[in-house]
Structure 1
Amino acid sequence: MGVSRESPASASRDATRKRVLRGVAVQAAVVTAAVHLLWAWPRLGSPPDARPYFFLAGSALAVAVGVATLRAGEYRRLYALGAGTLGTFLGGFLAWHGTGAAAALSADPLAVVAAIVEVIGLGAYLALYRLAPPTSVVVEQRREEREDRP
């Protein structure tokens, strides 16, 4: 087993910080998914607009990443996927509306909520990524824990 270089107080502070960040990240992912579903559901079946179908898929991915964030260990790849998912929603909005993004944002309350929550969630996932050890370290720790069990 590896030796921790952190003091007990520092480890406790980081554990609390990570727990809060995980909660914020998961809530942001779920709210983002809900907002996109609320926007997409009445627009399904509109042939010239593919966005509702992308929103359905992206919402499912956001919820899956949120559930995995709650249940899984500290995996940087998972946090990168969460940040990427929320960042894609945000970047997609900006790309779709281009220079008219500010006007589109002010005209749609759901877009305002989505943008705010996506920025918060993106920040939480990126902070989790920075605080988490490399995935190889987590996998090795889990392997050692399984070997230590009778």
Structure 2
Amino acid sequence: MDDRTVRWLRGAVAALVFVTAAYHLWWGFPRMLVYLQAATALAGQGIPPDPRPFLFVGFAVAVLAGPYLVTRDVVSLRRAYQAGLALMVLSFVAWVVWHETGHGALFTDLPAPETDAGHSHGGTVLHTVYDHYVTEPVEGVIKTVELTAAALFAVLLRNDPDARE
């Protein structure tokens, strides 16, 4: 693959990674602060907090750490592509698992909600994905961004001459 194409793909994947990290920080950080402020009250009642804000912020930090670590020669370009690919796929899989297990009811003693934001989960994983694209378009866009970033990481991992072993 020529240098121009590799540079373009690197720029595209960097933009996609920034978009998904920004979304996860935008959604997770304020909620994380609310949970941290109310931690004593929630712990006293035995109510587990929603883990997503903490996971979202951790995910965003991990994703944004990649370019920093590459530019400081702490992580090789190849390892960064592998980690980026893994993180994007993990985010998508975690999103599917969250929705297929009743919005985290699997992890608590709370009953699974029957509906959420005007949609219900029934049928297959593909139905869940489609349902969210229709009822939660922002989630659909972010999941598309993540899957596109994963695909670009895979292409770069295979074709970037600077990422060869």
User: What is the TM-score normalised by the length of structure 2?
Assistant: 0.65
Q: Displacement of 1:136 after TM fit?
A: 7.3
Whole-Å separation in 2 of the counterparts to 1:128 and 1:136: 10
Say whether residues 1:129 and 2:157 are aligned partners: yes
Is 1:17 aligned with 2:5? yes
Mapped contact 1:26–1:67 kept (Cα < 8 A): no
What TM-score do the two structures reach when normalised by structure 1? 0.70
The answer for the alignment partner of 1:7 in structure 2 is: none
Q: 1:87 to 1:37 in 2, by over 3 A?
A: same
The answer for unaligned runs of 5 or more in structure 2 is 39-47, 101-124
Instruction: Call closer, same or farther: CA 1:66–1:29 in 2, change over 3 Å.
Output: farther
State the identity as a percent. Answer: 28
Q: 2:5 and 2:24 mapped to 1: Cα distance?
A: 28
CA RMSD of aligned residues (A): 2.6
Counterpart CA distance in 2 for 1:71 and 1:112 is 34
How many residues are aligned here? 125
Q: Point out where structure 1 has 5 or more consecutive residues left out of the alignment.
A: 1-12, 138-150
The 8 Å contact of residues 21 and 64 in structure 2, kept in 1 or not, is answered as yes
- In structure 2, the partner of 1:52 is 53
Does the aligned pair in 1 maintain the 2:78–2:164 contact within 8 Å? no
**Aligned pairs for 1:81-100 within 5 A:** 81-98=83-100, 99=125, 100=128
Distance 1:69 1:107 in 2: 38
Identify which range, 104-113 or 51-60, moves more after superposition.
104-113
Q: Give the helix-richer structure, 1 or 2.
A: 1
Per-residue CA shift, 1:51-100, capped at 9, x if unaligned?
11011010011111244456769722110011111111111111111243
Cα distance in 2 between the residues matched to 1:66 and 1:106: 33
